[in-house]
Each structure stands twice: as C-alpha cells, then as structure tokens.
Amino acid sequence: METKQISKAVIKRLPRYYRYLGELMEDNVERISSNELSKKMHTTASQIRQDLNNFGGFGQQGYGYNVHYLYTEIGKILGLDTVHPMIILGAGNLGQALANYVDFEKRGFKLVGIFDVNPVLEGIAVRGLEIQMLSELPFFLRENNVEIAILTLPKNKAKEMADILVENGIKAIWNFAHLDLETPDDVIVENVHLSESLMTLSYNLSKYRQEHVE
C-alpha cells in the first residue's frame, strides 16, 4: 500500500476515523456511506472520501464502506496490527492511570514494565506488574524487547532517563514530562504537554469572553 506523502492533518484524523468505526462495529453496523459517516463525525463527505483516498480508498460506489474492513485497514496503517511492548517510567497517579487503560492493551500496546525512583513503591503491583526501581532500567532494557517508553517523570529525571532509553535502543517515546526532549532523528517522540492544553483552553475562554462582552 502506498502511504507516502500523506499530510500530517490526515494522519491526525485517522485515529478519529478508527474510533468512530469501532463504535459502529459495537453497534453492529456493517456498512456506511461517506454521507452518513460525515454526519456522525461532523465533517464533510468529501473530506472523508479525500482522506481515505490517500490510502487507496476503501469505498465502493453505491455501497459505501465496509465498516469492519475499513476499521481493520486503518488499524494496519496506524500500526495496530502488531504488538508494541511498552514500559512506563514514573509510577505516580498518571503512570498508574496509563497502566490501567484497558483500551491500550486491546490495541496491541502491551505493558511489560513499570518503573519509579521512589523506594516506597518498589514491588507494588500495577496491572499485574511489580513496580521496579529506575536503577534497574538499563538491565531490563538489555534483557527485554521494549518498543515504546512512556515518560511520566518530573522534568529533570525525564531528561536523564531519555538518554538512557536512547542509549539502550528505544525508538519511541511517549512524553508527558514538561520539556522538549533532545533525541536523535531516528527516535520518534510524541508529546502530551497537559499544561499547554489547559492554557489553550484558558486562551480560548478569554478570547471568547473578550469577543462577547455583555
């Protein structure tokens, strides 16, 4: 399948298509037209057709999309057809929240280790895995196949750990720490900067109020 030169905007929308198709499957919907799908998703049918055409299109004139087929194909494009072993660094509330997302595992994101710096947490089980100390991380990485590391550590610790991850061959970091990681080009980083998201909300609220002064 030709997947080159697809715009970032389209990629950003794929998980949303995947989510809606998953919901349709739960509702036992077998096929859907781009029109119907566009109404559900509050977008246009032409955008849906254009987006999906990037991947060779999956629809048939007069039939619409086969929901299960489209769901499976988008899943493959998103890399959800293989298992991604992952570890969590930082076993605080956020780390534990992420460890307990059942949906992740359903999609192939399999938690294989959880680490923290706090000795009080050592050995406590989270989703069946005992929390290990961060000092054991390099050894763990050499002995186990890990693909994705989730960073929920404080800023300074995150920086230090990112270097250890990279040295030990980790190629994907999901970063919740409030800093921009400096990593080589072959390491994929996806940031979730929660305070920046909250500030965007605050900005939009202020702006709305300025524009709608009573």
- Tell me if 166 sits within 8 A of 151, measured CB to CB: no
Does 103 participate in binding its own copies (rule CB under 8 A)? Answer: yes
Q: Give how far Cα 151 sits from Cα of 101, 154, 174, Å.
A: 16, 9, 6
Contact with its own copies (CB under 8 A): which of 61, 120, 212, 213?
212
Kindly report each contact of residues 162-170 with a partner whose C-beta sits within 8 Å and lies 24 or more positions away, as own/partner: 164/137, 164/138, 165/141, 167/138, 168/137, 168/138, 168/141, 168/142, 169/141, 170/141, 170/146
Contact with its own copies (CB under 8 A): which of 50, 60, 144, 200?
200
Residue (15 or 56) nearer to its own copies, CB: 15
Q: Which 142-181 positions form the footprint of its own copies (CB under 8 A)?
A: 147-148, 171-172, 174, 178, 180
Residue (28 or 210) nearer to its own copies, CB: 210
Does 16 participate in binding its own copies (rule CB under 8 A)? Answer: yes
Residue 179 CB, nearest distance to its own copies (Å)?
Answer: 8
Give the per-residue contact string, 117-146, with its own copies (x = CB under 8 A; - = no): ------------------------------
Residue (139 or 178) nearer to its own copies, CB: 178
Contact with its own copies (CB under 8 A): which of 31, 47, 92, 122?
92
From the list 119, 108, 194, the residue with the least C-alpha distance to 151 is 194
At which residue do the structure tokens 């049918």 appear? 45
Contact with its own copies (CB under 8 A): which of 130, 136, 160, 190?
190
Rounded CA separation 92/35 (Å): 44
From the list 93, 196, 191, the residue with the least C-alpha distance to 150 is 191
Residue (161 or 181) nearer to its own copies, CB: 181
DSSP 57-86: ---BTTTBEEHHHHHHHHHHHTTTTS-EEE
Residue 11 CB, nearest distance to its own copies (Å)?
Answer: 6
Return residues touching its own copies (CB under 8 A).
3, 11-12, 14-16, 18-19, 41-42, 77-80, 84, 92-94, 96-98, 100-101, 103-104, 107, 109, 147-148, 171-172, 174, 178, 180, 186, 188, 190, 192-208, 210, 212
